[in-house]
Amino acid sequence: MSGAAGPAKRQSQLLIVGGGTGLVGRALLEEFRADHAIRTIHRRPSAREIALGVEVLRADVGLVQDWSPMLEGVDLLVNVAWYRSGPDRRFRPLAAGLERMFRAAAAAGIPRVVHLSVPPAPSSLEEELPYLVRKRQVDQTVRNSDLDYTILTPTMLFGPGDRLLTVMLRTMRRWHRFPLFDGGGYHISPVAASDLARIVRVEGSRGGRRTVPIGGPRRWTYRDLTDRLFRALGDPPRYWNWSAARGRRVARLLEVLGSTLIYPYEVDWLVSDMLGLPPYAGLDRPMQDVEPFLDREAARLLGARPAPLPPQDG
């Protein structure tokens, strides 16, 4: 018995605010490309977005006044837009644009929102640093809305092309030393960007209104992690042992010189011992440990052939 085929099932529409060019955005593209229609909003589309047929809306998030056309048909809104550093005049318009977006999303009845934020920081940073003051302003707009949401607060993220661990490896490779603040006994729990993308999928299909802290599978002391970076390069660990105060001064100088290695506020955040978050519970397979990533990135820096990625179930 034959008959006319039924209408094709509509793919769910994912909107990534902040685009698919950064570390998290790239991971989201790979996670959702097989079963979602993807729309991104940012200023400059990437070659990967074009290759995947992503609908790219070229816009400055901070300047968008009417979000209605961009939100049309969206089932899941994921916000990854933010800057890593800068004065208040940089963050203010972005925060205002995101607040307009979330209010428009609530008015449009967007079914689900996942908003990427950051973990708690020392009170002095929370109260004075534009990066955090404006971020918390946006977080609170989400919480005060009628949206069905998850706010994710991951700790240090890693992945190909990241601006933290990869930059640290390059610095160690060049200078054969690395700065260590106050002995390095504070903790960090690195999270793979691809795992964060999987978490976005889980939280994007879950109802409710909640904030979820996200650490990786292993809680390292900072000294142990930097020792491991040196070992990946085949070098013995050697440090410039500085106080946090001296570290802040050096970080300010590096920032003036255009370096993105570390910013002054990141020194304070590290030594506060507030970044060793517990792993996320709820994924269908274990989270990725950072060590294979370090070995592969070090091999690339050294000109060796990296080991293949281990197979993953599912």
CB 28 within 8 A of CB 16: yes
The position carrying tokens 């599978």 is: 217
Distance separating alpha carbons of residues 179 and 237, to the nearest angstrom = 11
* 235 shares a domain with 162: yes
Q: Look at residue 304 and tell me whether its pLDDT is greater than 80.
A: no
Model confidence at 1, in pLDDT bands (50, 70, 90)? very low
* 114 shares a domain with 45: yes
The pLDDT value given to residue 63: 96
The pLDDT value given to residue 202: 98
| Pairing assessment for the beta strands 220-221 and 187-188 based on DSSP bridges | antiparallel
For residue 53, count CB atoms less than 10 angstroms from its CB and return exposed for 0-12, middle for 13-18, buried for 19 or more. exposed
CB 117 within 8 A of CB 178: no
CB 147 within 8 A of CB 102: yes
* 174 shares a domain with 136: no
Instruction: Give the model confidence (pLDDT) of 81-120 as tens digits.
Output: 999 999 999 999 999 999 999 999 999 999 999 999 999 9
Other beta carbons within 10 angstroms of residue 175's beta carbon come to: 11
Domain of 53, CATH number, reads: 3.40.50.720
The position carrying tokens 């290695």 is: 261
The pLDDT value given to residue 131: 97
The pLDDT value given to residue 10: 73
Instruction: Give the model confidence (pLDDT) of 172-191 as tens digits.
Output: 999 999 999 999 999 999 99
Instruction: Give the model confidence (pLDDT) of 227-270 as tens digits.
Output: 999 999 999 999 999 999 999 999 999 889 988 789 999 999 99
Residue ranges making up the domain that contains 258: 157-190+216-304
Q: Look at residue 11 and tell me whether its pLDDT is greater than 90.
A: no
Q: Look at residue 54 and tell me whether its pLDDT is greater than 90.
A: yes
Distance separating alpha carbons of residues 247 and 262, to the nearest angstrom = 9
Q: Three-state SS for 125?
A: helix
* 94 shares a domain with 112: yes
CA distances from 308 to 139, 289, 292, 295, 298 (A): 39, 15, 10, 11, 14
Model confidence at 314, in pLDDT bands (50, 70, 90)? very low
The pLDDT value given to residue 23: 95
Report how many domains make up the chain: 2
Indicate whether 91 belongs to any domain.
yes
Indicate whether 138 belongs to any domain.
yes
Q: Look at residue 199 and tell me whether its pLDDT is greater than 50.
A: yes
214 Cβ neighbours under 8 A, 6+ residues apart = 152, 153, 154, 155, 191, 196, 199, 277, 279, 280
pTM here is 0.92
The pLDDT value given to residue 99: 98
Indicate whether 300 belongs to any domain.
yes
The pLDDT value given to residue 260: 79
Distance separating alpha carbons of residues 180 and 165, to the nearest angstrom = 14
Indicate whether 75 belongs to any domain.
yes
Q: Report percent pLDDT > 70 for the chain.
A: 94
If you average pLDDT over every residue of the chain, what do you get?
93
The pLDDT value given to residue 259: 84
The pLDDT value given to residue 313: 46
Instruction: Give the model confidence (pLDDT) of 119-140 as tens digits.
Output: 999 999 999 999 999 999 999 9
Backbone angles phi, psi at 215, to 5 degrees: -115, 170
